[in-house]
Amino acid sequence: MLAFKPEEQLQLVEREEIDDEEDLFEAIDKLISHGINAGDVKKLQDAGIYTCNGLMMHTKKNLTGIKGLSEAKVEKICEAAEKIVNFGYITGSDALLKRKAVVKITTGSQALDELLGGGIETSAITEAFGEFRSGKTQLAHTLCVSTQLPTSMKGGNGKVAYIDTEGTFRPDRVVPIAERFGMDAGAVLDNIIYARAYTYEHQYNLLLGLAAKMAEEPFRLLIVDSVIALFRVDFTGRGELADRQQKLAQMLSRLIKIAEEFNVAVYMTNQVIADPGGGVFISDPKKPAGGHVLAHAATIRLMFRKGKGEQRVCKVFDAPNLPESEAISFSYYISFSITDSSVVESSLTKEHIFQITAGGIADAKD
């Protein structure tokens, strides 16, 4: 279990005090100094676009759909934005330097952190799927607290946005987790903004409204629990499947843009469905809901399942920094437990453990 000193209290650094944050995005207001009318900038903000980086992530077709913006105006706005931010080619060395801005947030379990290469990372989408009571929401609650830890304590030193589609967020659950990390529960809860979504449209609109908050305050984590629930309710039957997947793709695209625009970690939970083609050797075959659309959107996919008692097992299902054959065929498992004070690692069974090192697969150390 990770050790934290109780006397170390939460201290969020103000955005203007963080030098590195200035390089992450350019405020949309800078367009005014490049000849764009202040009224047109206000129209962009009303549409949920608060940074030049975010502006460049929209198609001109979408921008002309904003009331009051003609094709000529959109063309001029895009030209001005291109002078402010570089969305062209960069060298691999520059890309490596850019990766240094990525923050890895502890899960509360050292074993789980090691599995993830340090924790839940920013500028990426981490998806956790599994049956009910497999630990997905418990990890979400733990991340609500650990994200607010200083970076020196493997935290993100930032605020948390939580979109709840299933009504499972419990602020009273956050209290003992905060106490475990030696943090003031009241301050922790004040740094979490929460919204309950009831339809897929409501869910998408909540994402649009986040840009204004993230442009002004130091957010480091966005949780969507769960990403698929409302889509499965609002769209029924095969006749609406294509429309559902298109709307789901649009929402996932928005999540990716938020992650990269503001350097926040996106943690989303997903449900599972029965997989009749799962094979005769699997007693209860299941696969994540959402199909290929969701599979391609997630940067890192984690499969959670129940273990003995309060133990849970996590498997890296897919990740860009692990070869596919190693991540799936070799089945790198980590067990962890859910306690009154959230997610902690449990004893690891030797036969289930090996290491993924810089040189590839290696025997686990004692």
If asked whether residues 77 and 109 sit together in one domain, one would say no
If asked whether residues 40 and 80 sit together in one domain, one would say yes
CA distances to 69, 77, 221, 246 from 81, in Å: 15, 6, 27, 28
If asked whether residues 80 and 220 sit together in one domain, one would say no
Q: How high is the mean pLDDT in each 10-residue block of the chain (366 residues)?
A: 51 46 74 91 90 90 91 92 88 90 89 86 93 87 93 92 95 90 93 95 92 90 93 91 93 93 94 72 73 91 79 81 38 57 51 30 35
If asked whether residues 54 and 118 sit together in one domain, one would say no
Domain membership flag for residue 360: no
pLDDT the model gives residue 120? 93
Domain membership flag for residue 361: no
Domain membership flag for residue 365: no
If asked whether residues 150 and 257 sit together in one domain, one would say yes
If asked whether residues 135 and 208 sit together in one domain, one would say yes
pLDDT the model gives residue 16? 41
Domain count, the chain: 2
Domain membership flag for residue 93: no
Domain membership flag for residue 336: yes
pLDDT the model gives residue 135? 83
Q: How far apart are alpha carbons 51 and 45 in whole angstroms?
A: 9
Domain membership flag for residue 362: no
| Pair 163, 220: CB distance under 8 Å | no
CA distances to 148, 157, 200 from 152, in Å: 11, 9, 38
Tokens of 98: 């850019």
CATH number at residue 49: 1.10.150.20
Q: Which residues contact 346 (CB under 8 A, 6 or more apart)?
A: 111, 307, 311, 335, 336, 337
pLDDT the model gives residue 277? 65
| Pair 233, 167: CB distance under 8 Å | no
If asked whether residues 146 and 52 sit together in one domain, one would say no
Tokens of 301: 């996919």
If asked whether residues 75 and 108 sit together in one domain, one would say no
E-only strand ranges, the chain: 104-105, 120-121, 124-130, 159-164, 192-196, 219-225, 265-270, 272-274, 286-288, 300-306, 311-318, 333-339, 342-345, 355-357, 360-362
Q: How far apart are alpha carbons 269 and 266 in whole angstroms?
A: 10
Point out which residues pair with 159 in neighbouring strands: 219
If asked whether residues 235 and 338 sit together in one domain, one would say yes
Domain membership flag for residue 249: yes
Residues spanned by the domain of 76: 28-84
Amino acid at 321: N
If asked whether residues 335 and 196 sit together in one domain, one would say yes
If asked whether residues 134 and 257 sit together in one domain, one would say yes
Tokens of 158: 């930032």
If asked whether residues 130 and 174 sit together in one domain, one would say yes
Domain membership flag for residue 303: yes
CATH number at residue 168: 3.40.50.300
pLDDT the model gives residue 124? 94
